[in-house]
Chains A and B, each alone.
Chain A
Amino acid sequence: MNAPGESFPVTRLSVVAAARSNDAAERSLALEILFAAYWKPIYKYLRLKYAQAPQDAQDLTQGFFAELLERGLLAKFDAAKSRLRTYLRLCADSFALNEIKAASRKKRGGDVTHVALDFSTAEEELRTQAIDPASIPSPESLEDFFEKEWIRSLFSSAVAELRKLCEVRGKQKAFLLFETYDLDGEQNISYADLATQHGLPVTDVNNQMAWARREFRRIAMEQLHTLCGSEEEFAREARALFGETPK
């Protein structure tokens, strides 16, 4: 099993189908996938929306995922009514409101085994994004923020998978080029500049970048497919994310 939140587990089922499976291992995998894709967006969202201190937001995030499992919330998801992402955000809202109202941190933390998540990186990211947790944006902008964080989480995990793939196939150079151009991307860097920097012909840079981008998109689409509640949702999400209808 992968360390939670560090990489995207592989499943042949969508996360919703896995959550409804009779197989306990599949159900556990569903939660693992959700952890990987959603823990950071949920944490940052709860931290900002409810102006929670880091420790409290961490407890809320852990508690929310525990409740997802305990109450079988994923099995109750109806793809015809909403997107899985919206459903999870609303569940997180409802959970956080109840918890804050009851102020029962002890209960929430008491019976639940916490998963080791690196909340310090999430805090660091919030600082990098120059978002002041003390200032609470409007609900609409928080929804947008959650959407954006979800995309960031999905892409980050796809980039991590791409890095692994490049290592396995001995294509570290391709990843390095992709990282330099697309991830760290200086404003005016060109393929010719990259070629000079790495001592490669421009055609090599062109080919390796094309391969890396294609693989990145394929991985992201596969992960998106797993995270969607239905094929229709996947088609909609793929169009929204990449402007293309999945084949």
Chain B
Amino acid sequence: MKFLNDKAIERLRGSSIPDLSGTRYALRELIARGGMGVVYAAEDEKLHRRVALKVLDTAGTNAELTQRLIREARILAQLEHPGIVPVHDVGTLPDGRVFYTMKFVEGLRLDEYIKQLDSIPQRLRLFLRICDAAAFAHARGVLHRDLKPANVMVGSFGEVLVMDWGLAKILQEPTAAEETVVVSSQKKISSEEETQATVVTGHGTVMGTPGYMSPEQERGETEQIDARSDIFSLGALLKFVAASSQDRSERLPRALQAICAKATAKEPERRYESVSEFAADVSRHLDGLPVSAYSENVFEKLARFYKRHQIAILLITAYLVTRFLVLYFFHR
């Protein structure tokens, strides 16, 4: 039997711990482990700042996953938006594993943060910021495909960031300027790798999270997936955000229920056409305006009208009552 020296034993024991020697980063601690890779907190020793470093787990290292990680980094690099976690750098470890670094978000996951918000309007305003990020990505031809509370972080200053774009799908081909991205000083990713990466999430592959995944996504009909699939996930997210606030016995307003129902309709054609349209309905509900998803009866219209113009109605009523009393006593 071969004699294994101490170094070999350490390597075999801890081979999943990335060796960052030769990079500008120093490993700090493990933040999260997902299906595709592991996220560590690391220190950028040149800029003296903390970053989040995502790298494939050794056990799962293969060409397909490598392509997916590269692709995720490239997608993030194209999506410069305050609601999308920014990518800083992409590189290769000495063992060949690709990694990328992104902003280290100090804060809470949405499912934890939401407990701090009591009122529905506060929660809906937060939800609208998630919609902003999704709408921006859609405008750039990118679908997230895994929108759920665990993939949204709220930073310590209230900034909302959509994370984990590992399952994202590109609807549009990148422009010529986006064809090549520098991975490390030595290595470049070609458009051929991009094509392979698309195969990774190709036909028949079921990816997503049950409960937040659209029916067409659950069926693995990847060709059918478009922006309305993300709208389904956002609808499920809206239900979570609005309902978890509440005293369970209290029902959600009917208009809000209808918005959720429309967004999570089984058939994609019955959902909102775009995230902007969906967000506009939520905003209208917040402002006390009628929403496209719900036809009100006359009493509901009056109730909403009263709620929206409560102070003016009270002032006018007070004025009319006073006027009536003055006239009544004057003519007596």
A binds B: yes
Beyond A190-B94, A192-B96, A202-B96, whether A184 also contacts B8 by CB under 8 A is yes
Q: Which of B11, B22, B58, B62 interacts with A185 by CB under 8 Å?
A: B11
Q: Which of A156, A181, A190 interacts with B4 by CB under 8 Å?
A: A156
Interface residues of B in 1-15 (CB under 8 A from A): 1-9, 11-15
Nearest CB on A from B103, distance (A): 27
Q: Which of B2, B14, B59, B94 interacts with A183 by CB under 8 Å?
A: B2
Interface size, chain B (Cβ < 8 Å): 29
Nearest CB on A from B35, distance (A): 14
Which A residue sits closest to B33, measured CB to CB?
A: A244
Residues of B within 8 A of A (CB): 1-9, 11-17, 22, 58-63, 66, 94-97, 186
Asked if A14 CB lies within 8 Å of chain B CBs, one says no
Which residues on the B side are within 8 Å of A128 (C-beta)?
A: 3, 5
Fill in one digit per residue for A186-227: 1 if any B CB lies within 8 Å of its CB, else 0.
001111100000000011011101100110110010000000
Beyond A159-B2, A191-B96, A209-B95, whether A217 also contacts B8 by CB under 8 A is no
A217 x B2 contact (CB < 8 A): no
Main secondary structure of the interface of A (DSSP, over half): helix
Beyond A188-B94, A205-B96, A243-B16, whether A151 also contacts B9 by CB under 8 A is yes
Q: Which of A190, A191, A214, A243 interacts with B14 by CB under 8 Å?
A: A243
Fill in one digit per residue for A152-184: 1 if any B CB lies within 8 Å of its CB, else 0.
100111011000000000000000000101111
Which residues on the B side are within 8 Å of A179 (C-beta)?
A: 2
Q: Which of A189, A206, A216, A241 interacts with B66 by CB under 8 Å?
A: A206
Which residues on the A side are within 8 Å of B14 (C-beta)?
A: 243
Asked if A6 CB lies within 8 Å of chain B CBs, one says yes
Nearest CB on A from B120, distance (A): 40
- The 6 A-B pairs at the shortest CB distance, nearest first, are namely A191-B96, A210-B61, A156-B1, A203-B63, A183-B8, A190-B94
Question: Would you mind naming 13 contact pairs between A and B with Cβ atoms under 8 Å apart?
Answer: A128-B3, A128-B5, A152-B9, A155-B4, A155-B9, A159-B4, A181-B95, A182-B15, A188-B22, A206-B61, A210-B59, A213-B15, A243-B14
Cα A148 to Cα B66 with chains together (Å): 34
Cα A115 to Cα B3 with chains together (Å): 21
Nearest CB on A from B204, distance (A): 22
Asked if A125 CB lies within 8 Å of chain B CBs, one says yes
Cα A214 to Cα B12 with chains together (Å): 11
Interface residues of A in 215-247 (CB under 8 A from B): 216-217, 220, 241-244
B96 x A206 contact (CB < 8 A): yes
Cα A178 to Cα B62 with chains together (Å): 15
Cα A140 to Cα B305 with chains together (Å): 79
B13 x A157 contact (CB < 8 A): no
Nearest CB on B from A130, distance (A): 11
Please indicate which of the listed interface residues A152, A184, A210, A216 has the most CB atoms of chain B within 10 Å of its own CB.
Answer: A210
Cα A6 to Cα B11 with chains together (Å): 23
16 A-B pairs besides A121-B3, A160-B2, A243-B17 with CB distance below 8 A are A128-B3, A152-B4, A155-B4, A156-B1, A156-B2, A182-B11, A182-B15, A184-B8, A185-B7, A188-B22, A191-B95, A210-B61, A213-B59, A213-B61, A216-B12, A242-B16
Interface residues of A in 107-166 (CB under 8 A from B): 121, 124-125, 128, 148, 151-152, 155-157, 159-160
Which B residue sits closest to A6, measured CB to CB?
A: B1
Which residues on the A side are within 8 Å of B59 (C-beta)?
A: 210, 213-214, 217
Which A residue sits closest to B97, measured CB to CB?
A: A206
Nearest CB on B from A102, distance (A): 33
Q: Which of A185, A206, A207 interacts with B8 by CB under 8 Å?
A: A185
Cα A179 to Cα B15 with chains together (Å): 14
Which B residue sits closest to A128, measured CB to CB?
A: B3
B62 x A207 contact (CB < 8 A): yes
Q: Which of B8, B12, B60 interacts with A210 by CB under 8 Å?
A: B60
Cα A205 to Cα B63 with chains together (Å): 10
B11 x A206 contact (CB < 8 A): no
A210 x B13 contact (CB < 8 A): no
Which residues on the A side are within 8 Å of B186 (C-beta)?
A: 192
A183 x B1 contact (CB < 8 A): no
Which residues on the B side are within 8 Å of A160 (C-beta)?
A: 1-2
Nearest CB on A from B29, distance (A): 13
Which residues on the B side are within 8 Å of A156 (C-beta)?
A: 1-4
Which residues on the A side are within 8 Å of B60 (C-beta)?
A: 210
B13 x A206 contact (CB < 8 A): no
B61 x A209 contact (CB < 8 A): yes
Which residues on the A side are within 8 Å of B95 (C-beta)?
A: 181, 190-191, 209
Q: Which of B12, B58, B63, B94 interacts with A155 by CB under 8 Å?
A: B12
Which B residue sits closest to A8, measured CB to CB?
A: B1
Which B residue sits closest to A190, measured CB to CB?
A: B94
Nearest CB on A from B60, distance (A): 7
